[in-house]
Amino acid sequence: MNVIEKKYSAIDASCRVPLLVLFGVAAIWLIIGLALEIIASLVFHNPDWLANCPFLTYGRVLPAANDAILYGFVMPAALGVMLWIFARLSESELLLPLVPIVAGNIWAVGVLVGVVAILIGDSTGFTWLEFPRGGSVLIFAAFLLIAVSAMATFGARRERELQPSHWFLLASLFWFPWIYSTANLFLVAWPVRGVAQAVIDWWFSNNLLFVWLGLVGLGVAFYLLPKIAGRPLQSRYFALFAFWTFMLFAPWCGIPQGAPVPSWLPSASTVASFLTLIPLIGFAIVFGNTIRGVNVQCKGGPYCYAKFAMVVFFLSALMYIATGCPHCSGVVGMTWYMPAQTYLQIFGFVSIAICGAAYESLPGIMDFELPFRGFVRAQHWLFMFGLLLLVVPLAVCGISEGLKMQNPNIPFSEISHGTLNYLRVSSLGLFLLLLGALLFAINIFAMTAIWQTKLAKAFAATLLPYPETGEVKS
Amino acid sequence: MKTGFRVFLGAFIALGLSWCGFVLGPVLQLGTQGQTNVLNSSEIYPNQRPGNATLGLQVYRAYGCAACHTTQVGQDGVLCDVVLTSAGANPTAVNNLISSLKLTGLSKDEADAVSGRISAAGGKTETHIIPVGADISRHWGLRHSVAEDFLWDNPVQLGTIRVGPDLANEGLRHDESWELAHLYNPRSNVQNSIMPSYKSLFITGNTPSEDAKNLVAYLLSLRADVSLHDAPFTTAAAPAAAPQNAASQK
């Protein structure tokens, strides 16, 4: 082991327990979330299923599933990856490692409280903000705790110059507490009056799903790509320009066209959507120049994950920006096209980037190889086919539904009945995603079990009066 | 960049700008909104929903109805119809003039020009405002939804996706027995409905629980049927609401 590897092995080891906690929480909630998502989609196979069970009615299970996946899986896993990236970039051990361990557990309880509350009918009724006070306070506190540990590690960095990955991840640490507290204060604690509620909810959803997930996913991908490709991001200045313009324009997207609000709000979103093309072009140039001519065998590993995540990011962002155009929004605005885009953003872009980073970090962190290395490539394939079967049918369904809605002579019941076949195919996509998630969880929990066994053995060895091997150390 | 401070400052400014625009702005503009006058009437709109309908909104929230239903109607624009109310002193001239003019489906400017010519000939006219658009033709509303329609609601659930039909004017379309039958078994009165059955809202057999009654009261209170300054339309000439107990929801 050379000096550099030794240095990083100590850094990685300092992340071990916090990351195991956060990844463990994430893996469990991903599986629960996808299972709930599948239960919700069962209603499209037989609407009378579960009719006598109010806890499992579609309107409760769907938000519970979405929140379990976003708050239960994406966020803790992203924060775990972020801690590791900060420690690596700082060339310092993770500071305050106990804090994220505690926070990870608080987080899991917060999500549990929130999901159970939705299922028993205690949802707040605001999209992506359904967790009532009990759950959201815990999540907020846990986020701040993890941010403290991340900032302490960031402050201890040896190389003062910031890396591009730093910009994105630091901004995301700042972004979430602001949007989450604003939304909870204005909508849940002291609700404002009338449709201002809806506007704030759209602002929050856009900032969470488009901006926050964008910052996190890009931050992770812009760490993985240069690390594995073995050369810095090409170029740093393009990345900086795209970063600033993304933060400036993207938070203004997301107000649907034709909403019953003063018309300057959707108009501002339309302008912002088109301006967001500027940072997207910037990111595309950076991505293209960084991976061009690099000879890395990706073999379904983390490099593949990062590249795939970036490509999906462009697709999903373009799908999203298109809805800012009043003409397109008039067709697809209230159809299955919108959930299709959200699924693409969550499962195709952020989840893939985070899982790639997790697979990249785990062998070093645990100091042994993944127990099931084949699962990495298998999960990638399962997610790709799962996304294909989930997103494409929903997007096509949304467009065809939207076009039919333009013609008032087609009865609505006929249109909604016509969506069923697409929705049934998308259940299959969810099922493939669940299989992929199981592979992720198996690797995480197998590694935890192996590590615990090792710990137990080492502990037992200290209890024995003589070393087991019989060799007496001098 | 050598310090994280600039990143935080940049993020603070960027997010702060959008916060001022999309949080503070709407709160100042809409958060102080009050009731308004119904056009050409002394009535005030909107009135607080009845008590059981207010409770019903909470049932609507708790069951996540907004996961499938929107409560907002859009429109593409308005057209004007010019209607002769009095032929005046010289009916023959006015009638000859009218027969040579197009009186329906006009833009506002065209309608003004037409009514100007008729009044120059001595006739008196009224201009009727007709909202148009796919939602309006589907009888989902008489006009597009406006901010006032949601003034008393908490939470405001506009909905984002139309898995089921829009409910902004559900109270104009159906009555209590239809709604209860629909909740109990959606396919009993809408053949192709993909809505799940809500039998759990009924106690034994098909006796509705309090929640079911409140929910129906809320649904029946959904009616945006008055003409407002923000969304004018002419009641008499507007397309009539779909007949009650329509066999299929359009």
- The C-alpha atoms of residue A438 and residue A333 are separated, in whole angstroms, by 34
Contacts of B210 by beta carbon, 8 Å cutoff, 6+ apart: none
Q: Is residue A248 part of a domain?
A: no
Residue A6: per-residue pLDDT: 76
Phi-psi region of A128 (alpha: psi -120 to 50; beta: other; left: phi over 0): left
Contact A170 B160 (CB under 8 A): no
The backbone region for A472, taken as left when phi is positive above 0, alpha when psi lies in -120 to 50, beta otherwise, is beta
List of chain A residues with pLDDT < 50: 1, 473-474
Query: Among B147, B162, B83, B75, which residue's Cα sits nearest to residue B119?
Result: B83
Q: Closest to B2 (Cβ–Cβ): which among A62, A162, A255? A: A162
In the structure encoding, which two tokens stand for residue A324, read together? 């800012």
Q: Which of B27, B160, B194 sits opposite A420 (nearest CB)?
A: B194
Domains and CATH numbers, chain B: 33-74+137-220 (1.10.760.10), 77-132 (3.30.1390)
* CB within 8 Å: A413 and B192: yes
pLDDT digits (tens, 9 = 90+) for B59-106: 999 999 999 999 999 999 999 999 888 888 888 888 888 888 888 889
CB pair distance less than 8 Å for A178 and B19: yes
C-beta atoms of A175 and B15 within 8 A = yes
The pTM for the full model equals 0.94
Nearest-angstrom CA–CA distance, A297 and A369: 18
Would you say residue A206 lies in a domain?
no
Which of A334, A397, A415, A417 should we substitute to test contact with B (largest number of B Cβ atoms within 10 Å)? Answer: A334
Report whether the peptide linkage leading into residue B131 is cis, meaning its omega lies within 30 degrees of zero. Answer: no
Q: What are the tens digits of pLDDT across the range B1-53?
A: 668 899 999 999 999 999 999 999 999 999 888 899 998 888 999 999 999 99
- Nearest-CA distance from B192 to chain A in Å? 6
The answer to the question of residue A34 being in a domain is yes
Are the Cβ atoms of A262 and B29 closer than 8 angstroms?
yes
Interchain contact, B17 vs A161, CB within 8 Å: no
pLDDT at B248 over 70: no
Q: Is there a contact between B27 and A417 if contact means CB atoms under 8 Å apart?
A: no
Residue in B closest to A335 by C-alpha: B161
What pLDDT, on the 0 to 100 scale, is given for residue A466?
A: 67
Among the partner residues B10, B67, B199, nearest to A51 by beta-carbon distance:
B199
Q: Angle of helix A236-249 relative to helix A264-275, nearest 10 degrees? A: 170
**Is it the case that residue B120 has pLDDT exceeding 70?**
yes
Report how far apart, in Å, the C-alpha atoms of A98 and of each of A18, A429, B130 are: 7, 38, 66
- Reading phi first (left if > 0) and then psi (alpha if -120 to 50, else beta), residue A92 is in beta
Buried-state track A288-323, b at ≥16 Cβ within 10 A, e below 16: eebbeeeeeebebbbbbbbbbbbebbeebbebbbbb
Q: Which domain holds residue A103?
A: 1-161
Q: How far apart are CA B248 and CA B250, in angstroms?
A: 6
CA distance B54 to A66: 27
Nearest CA in chain B to A129: B155
A458 domain-assigned: no
According to the model, what pLDDT value does residue A369 have? Answer: 93
Quick check: A232 and A165 in contact, CB under 8 A? no
Which residue in this structure is represented by tokens 């409280």?
A113
Rounded-to-integer distance, Cα A187 and Cα A238, Å? 38
For chain B, say whether A71 makes contact (Cβ under 8 Å).
no
Q: Say how far apart CA A302 and CA A289 lie, in whole Å.
A: 19
Interface confidence, given as ipTM, is 0.93
Contacts of B173 in chain A (CB under 8 A): none
Number of compact structural domains in chain A: 1
Q: Residue A194: which of B51, B153, B71, B23 has the closest Cα?
A: B153
Is A39 within 8 Å of A61 (Cβ atoms)?
Answer: yes
CA distance to partner chain B, nearest, from residue A257 (Å): 10
Residues of chain B neighbouring A261 (CB-CB closer than 8 A): 26, 30, 147
Give the separation between CA A243 and CA A240, rounded to whole angstroms: 5
Which of 402-441 (A) contact B at CB < 8 A?
405-408, 411-414, 416-417, 419-420
DSSP H helical ranges for A292-373: 302-322, 326-332, 337-343, 351-366
B196: which chain A residues are within 8 Å (Cβ-Cβ)?
A: 43, 47-51, 57-58
- Cβ–Cβ < 8 Å for B215, B171: no
* Cβ of residue A178 closer than 8 Å to a chain B Cβ: yes
Distance from CA of A301 to the nearest CA of B (A): 31
A357: three-class secondary structure by DSSP: helix
The residue among B2, B7, B61 with the most chain A CBs within 10 A of its CB, best to mutate, is B7
Please, are residues A193 and A259 in contact by the beta-carbon 8 Å criterion? no
Res B240 pLDDT > 50: no
Closest CA to A231 of A174, A168, A292: A292
Nearest to A408 among B137, B186, B192 (CB): B137
Tell me, yes or no, whether A113 lies in a domain.
Answer: yes
Interface test with B, best of A36, A57, A60 (most B CBs within 10 A): A57
